[in-house]
Structure formats: C-alpha cells, structure tokens
Chains A and B, each alone.
Chain A
C-alpha cells in the first residue's frame, strides 16, 4: 500500500497539523483522524488526493484547535509549543524551518481566534503560490484604534510579534503582517482553490472595502 496517497503525504499532513497545533501529540492524533476520514472516501471521486488530504487535516486540526483554545485560555504563563526533534536538514529548508520554529508557533498562539490562525498557517504552509500572499491586504490597525485594544485581532500581549519573529525572516519583512485573518482574501486569487480555507472564515473576517481584492 505504499502508493496510497495518505502514506505518501503523511509527513506533509503531520507538518500541517503541527504548524497549526504546536503539539506533536495532537498533530499525530489529527493525522490519525484524517486517515479515518480518508478511509471512508470514495477515491475515484478525488481529483487531487494531496489537496484533499491537506484539506481534511486542516479541518480536523481546526476542530482540535477549538477544543484546545479553551484549555489554553487557562494556561499559566506564556504558552509554548511542544518542541520537535528534527533533522539538521530541516534547517536548510528555510521556509519550513521558519514555519515550524518555536518563535513562529508561539506567535501564532497569540493570534486571536483559532480559525484566523489556522487559515493563516494552512495557507502559508501549503499554498504553492506564495506570491498571492503579497497581494493580500496589509493588516493594519484602524486609525484611532489601539491595535491591541478590545475587539482587536492583533496579537495580544502588547509586546507584539515583532520582537518574537526574527527580523531577517520574510514574516517581519511584510508578508507576515499581511498574513492575518485577511489572508482569506487571497483565496480568491489562489490557483489552487481547494487548498484554501473555508469561506466561513472569510465571512467572519470581512474584506476591507479598499485594497486589492484580485
């Protein structure tokens, strides 16, 4: 059964789940749940197994995040992800290393609703067209409103994400700031729409009136 797409893409699925959850144990559970779903699917109906699997794992991880979010609200001190032992090769893949870095996972945890966060991670980790990220709207505080005030979707904690995310990374050079909830906007531009997160997230984070909605 080595040609089963699930087996082929297992490490990708684990990576996506881990990026979203910051926990290897939870990520492993989610991958197992994904397999259960996958086992029930009529394979003949699936055009792109990789995209399909990523979508299942994203949804499962999102479900898990909602449960975890409640638990982490009561977490004493700053929540840190579960570290992963990786091979030195991972460090050579700069994007991958960055997306699973402790700094990134910690920052994602400080982002508001899990749905926003997950859409962000799922997007960045799987989208084959990162340029569409660049086209999405910059996430700016509205004039006259504190970016960390009530109702804000900015990372909590005041000290902000800048100091946590390495300044050399592409995240702090601009794309990260465009990569908040409004990330959904680029779903419409993505050439692989099946990889994009659900429209319900987009509905929850309405697109700003101005800005490119290509």
Chain B
C-alpha cells in the first residue's frame, strides 16, 4: 500500500477490521515499534522506517516463527 492517503484510509478502518485488537508499543531492534495483540496473543509486530522525521515505511511482521522470541529481551553489544 503506497501513499499517505491510502495508508491513512486503511489504518482508519483498522478498528472495524480487527475489533478485538490491542495495540501497544515495544522496543524492537533498537527502535520504537508497535505490537498488536489479538485474543491476548501477539499477532503482529509493526516496525517503522523513519526518514526525515516522517514514517517512510511500515513493516508488519506476522510470521509466528519470527515472533516466537519476542517475550525475551536480547542483549546486544559490539
């Protein structure tokens, strides 16, 4: 979905598409991200690419295999 108008239209309908969804924030990969819980379980991780202070892309990750470890914080270092 490309274009701010179309994305905004889509997001404005979110409530009716997923009535029971609980949306929260979470730190993912060193950035603020969103999590959407459906029926008490993590359903979607939403990450943002911010460019010049504006959201350039929104990635939604729903693959359950990729969300399996999100209950435990990873320690990163260099």
| Residues in B neighbouring A126, C-beta threshold 8 A | 78
Tell me, yes or no, whether B4 is within 8 Å of chain A by CB: no
User: Is B49 a contact of A90 with CB atoms below 8 Å?
Assistant: no
Chain B interface (Cβ within 8 Å of chain A)?
A: 26-33, 45, 47, 49-52, 56-57, 59, 61, 63, 65-78
User: Is B56 a contact of A163 with CB atoms below 8 Å?
Assistant: yes
| Residues in A neighbouring B27, C-beta threshold 8 A | 85-88, 90-91
Instruction: Decide if the interface of chain A is mainly helix, strand, loop or mixed.
Output: helix
How many A-B residue contacts, CB cutoff 8 Å?
Answer: 118
Given contacts A24-B74, A96-B78, A100-B76, contact A84 B50 (CB under 8 A): no
C-alpha spacing A12/B75, complex, angstroms: 9
What are 22 of the A-B contact pairs (CB < 8 Å)?
A14-B75, A24-B69, A24-B74, A25-B65, A80-B59, A83-B61, A83-B66, A84-B28, A84-B70, A85-B70, A90-B29, A95-B78, A96-B30, A97-B30, A98-B30, A100-B30, A101-B31, A102-B31, A102-B59, A163-B56, A166-B56, A167-B52
Give the nearest-CB partner of B48 in chain A: A102
> Besides the contacts A15-B78, A85-B73, A166-B51, what 19 more A-B pairs have beta carbons closer than 8 Å?
A11-B77, A18-B74, A23-B66, A80-B59, A80-B61, A81-B29, A81-B66, A82-B67, A83-B33, A84-B29, A85-B27, A85-B71, A85-B72, A85-B74, A86-B27, A101-B30, A101-B49, A103-B49, A163-B57
Tell me, yes or no, whether A68 is within 8 Å of chain B by CB: no
User: Is A86 a contact of B28 with CB atoms below 8 Å?
Assistant: yes
User: Is A102 a contact of B71 with CB atoms below 8 Å?
Assistant: no
User: Is B30 a contact of A86 with CB atoms below 8 Å?
Assistant: yes
| Residues in A neighbouring B47, C-beta threshold 8 A | 83, 102
Give the nearest-CB partner of B53 in chain A: A168
| Residues in B neighbouring A134, C-beta threshold 8 A | none
| Residues in A neighbouring B30, C-beta threshold 8 A | 86, 90-91, 93, 96-98, 100-101
| Residues in B neighbouring A18, C-beta threshold 8 A | 74, 76
Given contacts A85-B70, A102-B49, A163-B57, contact A14 B76 (CB under 8 A): yes
